[in-house]
């Protein structure tokens, strides 16, 4: 196993091609090569995703650069400096349909894994980064022993209150060695979202190798790089994820630790990929055709070469230009545009594009907790959806654009006065 880097940020390497004397380039957090290629430079973005209370005008949000790079050697897309989110509230904001469906999906997943792996009282399940333990509850209800490893104190206490045993620790190789001495080896390890948030990928994956029982299965879920590129979804990039992985890169890194992807599932609602992983010596689980199909898709999309990443970086800039052209053109024509949705991705998109209340007077959101607040960075007010009917805008810009059909159906009344919808991504479209 290669030695992991220090936790938190990438090491620096000299960049002889840079004209600034003494300039140091960050190094890839997987292979150590100098990072020279930009993937998405969103500029200065608010550090947090929490909405602002206009009744606290002196409260100001902190900003820092959000610049994602891609390694020219191993093609890992990454934030060169990353602090693992101890209490982060940001990240992807799931559509209501996903949140409502989650309990039944979790139960179905537990049923399926219990059947496939013959889980029972002697076959433990361990979850890394499971927050409040709801997924582990599904296994515990089936009489399966469970254990969670959770770094966030508040989330860990919520899980403990649900009756889930928790080790409050950040998962790494040293944690795995300690758990090996204290608990039976898990037959199933769950790491949903935790892999993309690991400060050190190699240290995390080595921990999985150490802890996973022979013949066991580990599952990983993460935002899928191919889906992000296909949808031009740069607004989904956040500081809560230090990496955006493809299957090809994930297989490369897992293979360095004696682990093999033998099956996978696409999770289209979350734009994520779920991998099923085993020890390399476990011949009882052959690699399924789904894995090879996904490899072929990623290769066909050019993820092994530089051009796909360069096109994406250019597409980010072009999307900004298109949105500004649309909003400025509407303003000049005396037409009014308001927004729909106040997820974290809306704040990142509007802040990056330099859009404020002068171009987008307000946005609406059905979530009561968001109404009356301001989007961080852009400082755009959030109102109730009824405001659209009162103001009768010419265009409704769907900032929750991954839900465009759902929102268009919900807000169809704008057609009655000739109003139209617009989405900013994957490319600006008015309909």
pLDDT in tens, 210-247: 999 999 999 999 999 999 999 999 999 998 899 999 99
pLDDT at 4: 33
The string over 331-344, giving b where at least 16 C-beta atoms fall within 10 Å of a residue's C-beta and e elsewhere, is eeeeeebbbbbbbb
Pair type for strands 217-223 and 146-149: unpaired
pLDDT at 104: 85
Mean pLDDT of 362-387: 97
Instruction: Name the more confident of 3 and 209.
Output: 209
Alpha helices (H) in 81-214, listed in sequence order? 96-117, 134-140, 153-161, 173-182, 201-211
Q: Tell me the CATH number for domain 96-301.
A: 3.40.50.150
Asked if the model's pLDDT at residue 176 lies above 90, the reply is yes
Confidence label for 192 from pLDDT (cuts 50, 70 and 90) = confident
pLDDT in tens, 270-309: 899 999 999 999 999 999 999 999 999 999 999 999 999 9
- 73/35 Cα distance (integer angstroms): 9
- 372/384 Cα distance (integer angstroms): 8
pLDDT at 57: 80
Confidence label for 23 from pLDDT (cuts 50, 70 and 90) = very low
Asked if the model's pLDDT at residue 409 lies above 60, the reply is yes
Mean pLDDT of 26-31: 95
Alpha helices (H) in 187-306, listed in sequence order? 201-211, 225-230, 247-255, 289-300
Mean pLDDT of 328-343: 98
Is the peptide bond preceding residue 426 cis, with omega within 30 degrees of 0? yes
pLDDT at 3: 34
Fold of 308-430: Rossmann fold (3.40.50)
pLDDT at 92: 43
Asked if the model's pLDDT at residue 89 lies above 50, the reply is no
User: Percent helix, strand and coil across the chain, each rounded to 5?
Assistant: 35, 20, 45
Q: Where in the chain is the domain with CATH 3.40.50.720?
A: 308-430
Instruction: Name the more confident of 157 and 14.
Output: 157
Mean pLDDT of 119-130: 96
Confidence label for 100 from pLDDT (cuts 50, 70 and 90) = low
Mean pLDDT of 167-186: 96
pLDDT at 59: 81
pLDDT at 171: 97
Q: Where in the chain is the domain with CATH 3.40.50.150?
A: 96-301
pLDDT at 361: 99
pLDDT at 90: 40
pLDDT at 14: 41
Instruction: Name the more confident of 8 and 202.
Output: 202
Pair type for strands 63-70 and 37-46: antiparallel
Asked if the model's pLDDT at residue 368 lies above 60, the reply is yes
Under 8 Å between Cβ of 50 and 382: no
> Closest Cα to residue 212, out of 188, 191, 181, 183?
188
- Mean pLDDT over the full length of the chain: 90
Asked if the model's pLDDT at residue 22 lies above 60, the reply is no
> Closest Cα to residue 396, out of 330, 298, 349, 316?
330
What pTM was computed for the model?
0.86
pLDDT at 270: 86
Whole-angstrom CA distances from 169 to 62, 86, 174, 353 are 28, 11, 10, 38
pLDDT at 24: 56
Asked if the model's pLDDT at residue 256 lies above 70, the reply is yes
pLDDT in tens, 51-62: 999 998 888 888
Instruction: Name the more confident of 244 and 9.
Output: 244
């Amino acid at each position: 196993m290669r030695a992991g880097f220090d936790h938190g940020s990438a090491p620096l390497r000299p960049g002889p091609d840079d004209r600034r004397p003494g300039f140091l380039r960050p190094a890839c957090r997987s292979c150590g090569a100098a990072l020279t290629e930009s993937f998405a430079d969103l500029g200065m973005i608010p550090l947090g995703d929490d909405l602002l209370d206009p009744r606290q005008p002196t409260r100001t949000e902190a900003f820092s650069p959000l610049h994602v790079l891609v390694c020219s050697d191993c093609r890992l897309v990454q934030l060169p400096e990353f602090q693992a989110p101890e209490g982060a509230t940001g990240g992807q904001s799931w559509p209501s349909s996903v949140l409502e469906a989650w309990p039944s999906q979790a139960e179905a997943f537990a049923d399926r894994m219990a059947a496939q792996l013959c889980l029972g009282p002697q076959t433990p399940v361990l979850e890394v980064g499971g927050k409040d333990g709801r997924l582990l509850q599904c296994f515990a209800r089936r009489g399966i022993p469970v254990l969670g490893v959770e770094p966030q104190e508040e989330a860990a206490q919520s899980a403990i209150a649900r009756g889930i045993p928790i080790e409050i620790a950040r998962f790494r190789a040293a944690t795995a060695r300690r758990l090996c001495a204290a608990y039976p080896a898990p037959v199933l390890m769950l790491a949903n979202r935790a892999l993309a948030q690991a400060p050190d990928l190699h240290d995390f994956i080595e921990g999985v190798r150490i802890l996973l029982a022979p013949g066991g299965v580990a599952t990983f879920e993460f935002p899928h790089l191919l889906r992000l590129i296909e949808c031009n979804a740069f607004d989904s990039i956040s500081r809560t994820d230090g990496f955006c992985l493809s299957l090809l890169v994930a297989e490369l890194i897992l293979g360095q630790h004696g682990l093999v992807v033998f099956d996978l599932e696409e999770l289209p609602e979350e734009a994520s990929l779920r991998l099923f992983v085993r020890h390399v010596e476990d011949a009882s689980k052959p690699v399924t055709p789904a894995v090879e199909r996904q490899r072929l898709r990623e290769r066909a999309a050019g993820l092994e070469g530089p051009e796909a990443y360069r096109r994406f970086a250019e597409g980010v800039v072009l999307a900004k230009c298109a949105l500004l052209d649309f909003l400025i053109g509407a303003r000049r024509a005396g037409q009014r545009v308001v927004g729909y949705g106040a997820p974290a991705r809306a704040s990142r998109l509007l802040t990056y594009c330099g859009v404020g209340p002068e171009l987008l007077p307000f946005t609406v959101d059905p979530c009561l907790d968001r109404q009356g607040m301001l989007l961080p960075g852009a400082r755009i007010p959030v109102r109730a959806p009824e405001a659209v009917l009162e103001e009768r805008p010419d265009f409704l810009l769907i900032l929750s654009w991954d839900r465009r059909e759902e929102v268009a159906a919900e807000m169809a009344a704008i057609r009655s006065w000739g109003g139209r919808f617009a989405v900013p991504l994957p490319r600006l479209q008015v309909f």
